[in-house]
Amino acid sequence: MSITVEPTASATTPSDVQVRVFHNNSAPASFCGFEVNDSVTEVYSYTVLVTSAVSDEELAEELAEEAFRLFNVGHDPAFGEPDQRAVQYRAAGNRSLSIGDVVSVAERFHALTREGWFELAEVPVIAQRRSHGTTPAY
């Protein structure tokens, strides 16, 4: 997959970027968002080939937004051709991404808020837990 973002610099050599998706383990996270002491469960990861030169912030925002769309409606034919990553994600029993969940782009972690994505100052605690709608990736 190639991200098409308007370049902010001259063209760059294509590179693989790892995207990791985490569910927040705190039950009311969708009401409050991500809190510093919350732990997360990694539920899916994939690699994206990036062919445009963009800032790290723009890349993180674009890929986090893509993950949000992918894991909320990407499996549903009503929204276009289903993406196999989204189909696998849903087949594992995973729920839609919500406020308080986290996406890592190239090891930079971002939490979903009501206003969009917010970069976390520290790596969240990863505690692989199975719960309703959350199936650990490993």
Going residue by residue through the chain (138 aa), what tens digit of pLDDT does each one get?
A: 444 443 334 345 788 999 999 999 997 666 778 998 999 999 999 999 998 888 888 999 999 999 999 999 999 989 999 999 999 999 999 999 999 999 999 999 999 999 999 999 999 999 999 999 999 999
Distance, CA of 10 to CA of 1 (rounded, Å): 20
Q: How far is CA 51 from CA 2, 9, 84, 104, in A?
A: 6, 12, 21, 19
Whole-model pTM? 0.86
| In contact, 23 and 43? CB cutoff 8 Å | yes
Give the residue among 18, 3, 2, 29 at the shortest CA–CA distance from 95: 29
Give the residue among 93, 92, 90, 117 at the shortest CA–CA distance from 103: 117
